[in-house]
Amino acid sequence: MEIYVGNLAYATTDDGLKAAFAAFGEVTAVRVVTDRMTGRSKGFGFVTMPDAAQAQAAIDAINGHEIDGRVVRANESQPKPREERRGGGFRGGRGGFGGGRDRAPRRETRW
């Protein structure tokens, strides 16, 4: 079972998070999510435990309690909702500034 852990202290490391959950059973993977540019923690992470009963016991024990001085939230991880892709950019992908495909081409006037 994958567990979402939110409201982590910025100082919390993978090892610290693993130690908190290892008291309840086997932990196969831990990842504190970090910002790509700064390398600083984003304040949440994921813990994977193969035994669902142990994982639920860990969630019940850790949710609402402190890790590294912060009261954390722990629950079963939910899949990230997929967003509909409609094209990017300004005006929903229907051309850019100053016109585009949604109107007839201008006629040139010669003097």
Residue type, 4: Y
**Whole-number pLDDT of residue 30:** 97
- DSSP-based three-state secondary structure for 53: helix
Q: Is 72 exposed, middle or buried (0-12, 13-18, 19+ CB in 10 A)?
A: buried
Report pLDDT digits (tens) over 24-48.
999 999 999 999 999 999 999 999 9
Flag whether pLDDT at 93 surpasses 70.
no
Flag whether pLDDT at 99 surpasses 80.
no
Higher pLDDT, 101 or 3: 3
| Domain layout of the chain by residue ranges | 2-76
- CATH among 3.30.450.20, 3.30.1490.20, 3.50.50.60, 3.30.70.330 for 2-76: 3.30.70.330
- The structure's pTM equals 0.71
